[in-house]
Chain A
Amino acid sequence: MSTTLQDDGTRTLREGHAPTLKVRKRPLNRRATLALSIASPVVLLLLWEVASRSGMVDARFFPAPSGVFLALAKRLTGSELWGHIGISLSRIVIGFLIGAVPAVILGLAMGLSAVIRAIVQPLVDATFPVPKLAILPLFILIFGLGEGSKYMVLAVAVFFIVLVNTAAGVRAIDTTQLEVGASFGASRTIMFFYIALPGAVPFILSGLKLGMNVALLVIVAVEFTGASSGIGYLIWNSWQVFKVEQMYVGLVVTALFGFGFAGLFALLERVSMPWKRR
Chain B
Amino acid sequence: MSAIPGSPPRASSDVKVDIRGLEVEFQMRGSKFKALDGIDLTIRRGEFLVIVGPSGCGKTTLLRVLAGLEEASGGDVRIFDDDNGQRPESAMVFQEHGVFPWMTVRENIAFGLKASGMPRKARRDIADEYIERVGLTPFAKAYPHQLSGGMRQRVSVARAFATDAQMLLMDEPFAALDEQTKLVLQELLLRIWQETSKTVLYVTHSLDEALVLGDRIVVMSGRPGAVKDVIDVAAVFQRPRKVAEVRSDERYGSMFGRIWGQLRQEDEAAS
> Which A residues lie at the B interface, using CB under 8 A?
174, 176-177, 179-187, 190, 194-195, 198-199, 201, 273-277
Contact = CB atoms under 8 A, between A and B. Distances in A.
A183 B90 contact: yes
Contact of B100 (A180, A182, A185, A276): A180
Nearest to B102: A198
Interface of B: 67-69, 88, 90-92, 94, 96-98, 100-104, 111-112, 114-116, 143-145, 163, 169
Contact of B143 (A174, A179, A180, A274): A274
Given A179-B69, A181-B115, A184-B116, 5 more contacts: A177-B97, A184-B163, A185-B115, A185-B116, A275-B104
A183 B60 CA distance: 14
12 contacts: A176-B97, A176-B98, A177-B98, A177-B100, A182-B69, A183-B67, A183-B68, A184-B115, A185-B115, A186-B111, A187-B115, A194-B114
Given A275-B143, A275-B145, A180 B116 contact: no
Chief secondary structure at chain A's binding surface: helix
List the 4 closest pairs (A to B, CB-CB), nearest first.
Answer: A198-B102, A186-B115, A183-B92, A184-B115
Contacts of B115: 181, 184-187, 190
Nearest to A278: B145
A185 B104 CA distance: 20
B152 to A, nearest CB: 12
Contact of B94 (A179, A185, A199, A275): A179
A190 B110 CA distance: 13
A183 B143 CA distance: 22
B2 to A, nearest CB: 12
A235 to B, nearest CB: 42
A185 B115 CA distance: 6
A184 B97 contact: no
B102 A199 contact: yes
Contacts of B100: 177, 180, 194-195, 198-199
Chief secondary structure at chain B's binding surface: loop
Contacts of B144: 275
Contacts, number: 64
A10 B122 CA distance: 64
A111 to B, nearest CB: 16
Nearest to A190: B115
B101 A275 contact: yes
Given A185-B115, A186-B115, A190-B114, A180 B88 contact: no
A182 B68 contact: yes
A176 B96 CA distance: 8
Contacts of A274: 143
Contact of A183 (B91, B97, B102, B145): B91
A190 B68 CA distance: 18
B69 A183 contact: yes
A205 to B, nearest CB: 13
Contacts of B169: 183
Contacts of A181: 115
A176 B103 contact: no
A92 B175 CA distance: 51
Given A179-B69, A183-B69, A184-B163, A277 B94 contact: no
Among B103, B114, B115, B163, find the residue whose CB has the most chain A CB atoms closer than 10 A.
B115
Contacts of A187: 115
A194 B143 contact: no
Contacts of B111: 180, 184, 186, 194
B112 A184 contact: yes
Contacts of A277: 145
Contacts of A276: 145
B140 to A, nearest CB: 14
Given A174-B97, A179-B69, A184 B91 contact: yes
Contacts of A180: 92, 94, 98, 100, 111
Nearest to A191: B115
A273 B69 contact: no
Contacts of A273: 102
Contacts of A194: 100, 103, 111, 114
Contacts of B67: 183
B269 to A, nearest CB: 31
A274 B98 CA distance: 19
A187 B118 CA distance: 13
A269 to B, nearest CB: 13
A201 B103 CA distance: 13
B103 A275 contact: yes
A179 B90 CA distance: 13
A274 B145 CA distance: 11
